[in-house]
A and B are shown apart, each in its own frame.
Chain A
């Protein structure tokens, strides 16, 4: 019993099927299906099933009948390519993702920096694909003829083409931006793959269990017909097995539809890794049913072309739905191929043929123009496929048509190998090789096909050159076209030179990491608004504004960005984004013309170092061998710099911040993201002025600089060193050097020292305590006696005299207490710099020292002009004098003299304290300024006095020296600077 179907029913079933596909695409695009489903690696794997077209679906059985297991080569080659993906597909995916390259023509145009390469690849791809598209149309019409037992009219084929045009536009050219991934398309193609796999497996199972009566019956049949198995194996040993393996290896990723799904619609590297084994498994399952279907056809002795056994066996004693399912499976395979191939080809034609030939007016919306252009091209390509279908010989086998396309795309393999693994390959070499390969392909395959179809009559005896037919023809064409292609590519590349741009692209293609090249130069446009204005002149204001906004968003930049390094990155990002829209070469030309580089501005390696570092960080896992070791070393050194407990700020030659380490963040309270790339003088106060000033200063070290941070004083030692640019020559490096500045925070040390000074003063007060008690005790005793006498005294004169004496004694007590209070109060360092009379603090210090026992027994002689003034911290300088005088009196014998001499000398005040004491041995003189060093008995001195004196004098930018001769005496000399305004003031008051 055989079934017969009406054309209208089958056409309607096809339309319904396409509508289901569109529904799947639509709900996926609308976000109604969870992302975790649509982005699952297995959806991606199934979408790659677009490789299996009607050639696989129908033609495999015919191929197996004619060439045995040779048909498996078409899938084994793909298996090899996918297993090889870490070294072949991954690098291409990295490039296409990083540089937004959507097709093979984009990839070649980018690597070889040639619009010609893009045009040539596109044209050849287009010509090479037409037979393949024609094959699909043939498969659909022939399958209809098998099911309906009548020759379908040409209008029906045209109707199918119209339907495919409509759905191709709906699937892939529905959105404004052609750059975005078509998740809906991927989901729909994955569904199509599932349908054709299911259909083929169902037909295979039908063959096994209904045509045969199960595996045992099949086994028995094979034993009875050993020639059936032999027919499968024999061609493997005799035919061009290796050639077909090689061709399918190339087709796995070079066919336009494969390239589009593999790289253009890929969402992650993980998906590709899964595909490396899962896609070959899909192909294995798809082909598992082929031998049983072939043998079932033989058993049934079907009188039809073995290419259509898949349909034929379902027409004999099968349920009514099975032929329709088998037909839908075949239609699914053909329509998926046509839709995806057309989308890929239309995109290539747009960027490499239409755009360079007729770039739209800036006032036209580029997105809309591109959208309608693509729609037009989709229609044109499918119709060209229909014309080709119409012209070719009707009995041309499906496999022959497919293999013509396979040999065509194999011509791109030398270029791809050069792109991935030969940095010195040149544009001229690539173009020469490709032209040579195309010439041989046209001569050996295309012309014979057209001649056999009666379309042309070349007059040449084409096959006579190789004297081969059948499968040998493919072997011949493949070998000679690739040999010619490869040899020309290598030889011309060796003898030609690369342009600088090409060299840069080659470097990007051969690097372990994405775009490692430092970005050199400064963009002339200095704001993002200027970017938009400049771009608007060519791509129109609306598109320019959207593209700049998109690039800013991609890079996480603000609209007010002005840093040259960041603007350079923005320029590069816009070029990449435009590359996805207009193709790499067109984008390159537009960017070079509109966003020009400032020829005057110079850059150093330091300017782009941040970009290089970011790229290295992003691509760490890709680095291997020495690169990985060097990267580890770099990270180690960088970590040292970042964790250094000193504030580190490195700047470029134009004083833009390059490094701002953790200590610097803590000191300043400014995170590094807010300063990196900015000029020093743009930093918040006080850091901007401080660092910018220091960067310009002649001094390489500034000690003890006081800065108010957050209203509180901080002290820093500043150091700087130049960083010569390694790229600059020794002669020119002087003008182009960066700087590294170190900030040593002394604030804690200063606070500690202030506490020590206070302790020292308290210790001094302790030592003075007995004297104080005595000094205060005497007047109080006097006052008490006078008060006692006043009770009995009536004479007003005596009473008045007593009151005067009491007041005098009280004044004396007040004076002593006042001196002590002044001396002992704790104050912060440097808080009170003021102008004061030097003599006043000398007298005060003497008064304090006199309170001690030793201080009383010596005479003090002051030689100091009354009006001599100093600027400084009065209390701390008083502490210095008390310490010096106390030491001098301790060292003196009763009745000795201590002289205090203060004179002005050349803008300085020289203060000497001389005693006639026992002196200090020379070996000890070196150590007396060290903290806790003392020559006194335990309990008599803290050892802090002179070290504090030394410290305080240093704070006042002065010096302290000792000149001592044992047995004769000691002279302490303090030199303090006298400020200019202070001198002027004194000059005025003296007159």
Chain B
């Protein structure tokens, strides 16, 4: 069941997700996973992972705004 909006907690989660995304896509880690060339769709899989986490957070903190 979606929780009531908790701006403080939602912001914390958003920041954590942002750090994770930056770590994944804007750090030396990017060079590491991009050196594995077995799967051409690897960037898409990582991208999808980030979107799924974002969607999960959205439903976790779904707001009751109009």
How long is the Cα–Cα vector from A87 to B17 in the complex, in angstroms? Answer: 12
Decide if the interface of chain B is mainly helix, strand, loop or mixed: helix
Asked whether B34 lies within 8 Å of A233 as measured between CB atoms, the reply is: yes
B4 to chain A, nearest CB (A): 8
Asked whether B43 lies within 8 Å of A273 as measured between CB atoms, the reply is: no
Asked whether B51 lies within 8 Å of A270 as measured between CB atoms, the reply is: no
Contact with B along A227-248 (1 / 0, CB 8 A): 0011011001100011001000
A770 to chain B, nearest CB (A): 76
A298 to chain B, nearest CB (A): 13
B35 to chain A, nearest CB (A): 7
Asked whether A79 lies within 8 Å of B50 as measured between CB atoms, the reply is: yes
Which residues of chain A come closer than 8 Å to B40, judged between CB atoms? 222, 229, 232, 291
How long is the Cα–Cα vector from A287 to B21 in the complex, in angstroms? Answer: 19
Return the contact of B31 from the options A237, A273, A284, A624 (Cβ within 8 A).
Answer: A237
Which residues of chain B come closer than 8 Å to A80, judged between CB atoms? 18, 21-22, 25
Asked whether A233 lies within 8 Å of B21 as measured between CB atoms, the reply is: no
How long is the Cα–Cα vector from A230 to B40 in the complex, in angstroms? Answer: 9
Decide if the interface of chain A is mainly helix, strand, loop or mixed: helix
A659 within 8 A of B: no
Asked whether A269 lies within 8 Å of B65 as measured between CB atoms, the reply is: yes
Q: Which residues of chain B (1-34) have a CB below 8 Å from chain A?
A: 5, 7-8, 10-11, 14-15, 17-18, 21-22, 25-26, 30-31, 34
B64 to chain A, nearest CB (A): 8
A69 within 8 A of B: yes
Asked whether A280 lies within 8 Å of B17 as measured between CB atoms, the reply is: no
How long is the Cα–Cα vector from A623 to B17 in the complex, in angstroms? Answer: 22
Which residues of chain A come closer than 8 Å to B41, judged between CB atoms? 291
A288 within 8 A of B: yes
Asked whether A284 lies within 8 Å of B15 as measured between CB atoms, the reply is: no
Which residues of chain A come closer than 8 Å to B48, judged between CB atoms? 281, 284
Which residues of chain A come closer than 8 Å to B25, judged between CB atoms? 76, 80, 245
A277 within 8 A of B: yes
In the complex, what residue of chain B is closest to A278 when comparing beta carbons?
B55
Return the contact of B7 from the options A76, A82, A233, A621 (Cβ within 8 A).
Answer: A621
Which residues of chain A come closer than 8 Å to B50, judged between CB atoms? 79, 83, 280
A888 to chain B, nearest CB (A): 74
Asked whether A273 lies within 8 Å of B37 as measured between CB atoms, the reply is: no
How long is the Cα–Cα vector from A80 to B24 in the complex, in angstroms? Answer: 11
Question: Known: A87-B15, A269-B63. Is A233-B51 also a contact (CB below 8 A)?
Answer: no
A268 within 8 A of B: yes
Which residues of chain A come closer than 8 Å to B14, judged between CB atoms? 83-87
Asked whether A236 lies within 8 Å of B31 as measured between CB atoms, the reply is: yes
Return the contact of B37 from the options A226, A269, A291 (Cβ within 8 A).
Answer: A226
Total contacting residues, chain B, CB less than 8 A = 35
Which residues of chain B come closer than 8 Å to A623, judged between CB atoms? 7
Contact with A along B36-66 (1 / 0, CB 8 A): 0100110110011011101100100011111
A319 within 8 A of B: no
Which residues of chain B come closer than 8 Å to A230, judged between CB atoms? 37
How long is the Cα–Cα vector from A233 to B36 in the complex, in angstroms? Answer: 9
Which residues of chain B come closer than 8 Å to A86, judged between CB atoms? 7, 10-11, 14
Question: Known: A86-B10, A245-B25, A270-B63. Is A280-B37 also a contact (CB below 8 A)?
Answer: no
Asked whether A241 lies within 8 Å of B37 as measured between CB atoms, the reply is: no
How long is the Cα–Cα vector from A819 to B44 in the complex, in angstroms? Answer: 107
In the complex, what residue of chain B is closest to A284 when comparing beta carbons?
B47
Which residues of chain B come closer than 8 Å to A472, judged between CB atoms? none
How long is the Cα–Cα vector from A897 to B25 in the complex, in angstroms? Answer: 112
A863 within 8 A of B: no
Return the contact of A233 from the options B15, B17, B37 (Cβ within 8 A).
Answer: B37
Contact with B along A622-642 (1 / 0, CB 8 A): 111100000000000000000
A72 within 8 A of B: yes
> Which 10 pairs between the two chains have the least Cβ-Cβ distance?
A277-B55, A277-B54, A269-B65, A236-B34, A624-B8, A83-B54, A233-B34, A237-B31, A229-B37, A86-B14
Q: Give A residues with C-beta under 8 Å from B.
A: 69, 72, 76, 79-80, 82-87, 222, 226, 229-230, 232-233, 236-237, 241-242, 245, 268-270, 273-274, 276-278, 280-281, 284, 287-288, 291, 621-625
Q: Give B residues with C-beta under 8 Å from A.
A: 5, 7-8, 10-11, 14-15, 17-18, 21-22, 25-26, 30-31, 34-35, 37, 40-41, 43-44, 47-48, 50-52, 54-55, 58, 62-66
Sampled A-B contacts (6; CB under 8 Å): A83-B14, A87-B11, A87-B14, A273-B58, A622-B7, A623-B7
Beyond A84-B18, A87-B15, A273-B58, 16 additional pairs, beta carbon < 8 A: A69-B34, A72-B47, A76-B25, A79-B51, A80-B25, A83-B54, A84-B14, A233-B37, A237-B31, A273-B62, A277-B54, A280-B50, A280-B51, A280-B54, A281-B51, A624-B7
